[in-house]
Amino acid sequence: MKNKVYLYVFDTMADWEIGYLSTEINSGRYYKKGLMPLKIVTVGINKNPITTMGGLEILPEIELKECSIEETVAFILPGGNTWTDAIHTPIIRMAEECLEKGIVVGAICGATIGLAMEGVLNKRAHTSNDLGYLKMVCPSYAGEKYYKQEYAVTDRSL
């Protein structure tokens, strides 16, 4: 049964960026009648506590290898300062797998850098903080023609 929204948590995560999203997913107040409630599950590279940019300590409920694609409705990648670090590569691979299966992947702010570095944005409409910045921090980025200067962009399940 698909009812899980996986939320990736990591050191430097921009904790404020998920506030409205997590509130509405958790409350369900705007769900259509009869829809099953969704469960937000925090996922870490491992189960070690992380510290967000705001100084909050979060203990991931599960580690990445425990994620079940079969139960996934969405995979949320918040922004943060470390998306250029290789530690996030397994998370990007999971995001790619979700996209291939039509599962929603929400990449917020700095998370777009991680996707760009791994080539995920080279063939999908997307936005980010700034095109010039994205090109500067991701030398291999080749998705400029798909970049949109908008607050939010959707392309298939991204």
Give catalytic residues, as residue numbers. 109
Number of other residues whose CB lies within 10 A of the CB of residue 137: 16
**Alpha-carbon torsion angle 31, 33, 34, 35, nearest 10:** -10
CB 134 within 8 A of CB 116: yes
Number of other residues whose CB lies within 10 A of the CB of residue 151: 6
In degrees, rounded to 5, the angle at the alpha carbon of residue 103 between the alpha carbons of residues 117 and 48 is 65
Q: Which residue has tokens 């470390």?
A: 82
**CA–CA separation, 80 and 7 (whole Å):** 13
CB 21 within 8 A of CB 56: no
